[in-house]
Amino acid sequence: MFSIGFTNEELEYPYDDTSIPAQPGCLILDGSTEDFLANLSLWSKADYESHWKLELGALLGGRRKVALVVSYDNPEASSNMEIWRVYRDGEWAHLQNQLLQYRQLPKNFSVSELSQYIQDRVVVTEEGNKISEWDVSVHDIEAFLSGDGPI
């Protein structure tokens, strides 16, 4: 089972600043649910949803890795963005959560081209620790995009 989307919970203001709203959301990754809080200062909910569909469509279309942005803020106001890296391996997709530091990206990076900046899939750190990873079938992603999967 796979889905990504926003919950029906009310907006939050994580920095006690009413000019920076954030919308709770969640990823369903087979048997796990992973929550996120999407910053809405630059992107609307529709922007996130469009981005997710575009990236997942590219993955199904043959791209080997994509990045699902779940919280994006102005690089001048924040040090990082939260993403889920998705790596396709045959009929499986492997997802890894990351706080991507803006300083790791080129100065004039484009969020629409973020997938080209993420690292290739690594499952063990240089120190020998296993990287947390969730596996979902490509079929479940197809079902989600076609509207046959859970919301």
Query: Does the residue 120 lie in any domain?
Result: yes
What pLDDT tens digit does each residue of the chain (151 aa) get? 999 999 999 999 987 888 889 999 999 999 899 999 999 999 999 999 999 999 999 999 999 999 999 999 988 888 999 999 999 999 999 999 999 999 999 988 899 899 999 999 999 999 999 999 999 999 999 999 998 655 5
Q: Is residue 151 part of a domain?
A: no
Cα angle 32, 81, 42; round to 5: 110
Range of the domain at 120: 2-146
Overall number of domains in the chain: 1
Q: Which residues contact 32 (CB under 8 A, 6 or more apart)?
A: 134
CATH classification of the domain holding 111 = 3.30.2450.20
d(CA 91, CA 15): 41
Nearest Cα to 11, choosing from 28, 24, 26? Answer: 24
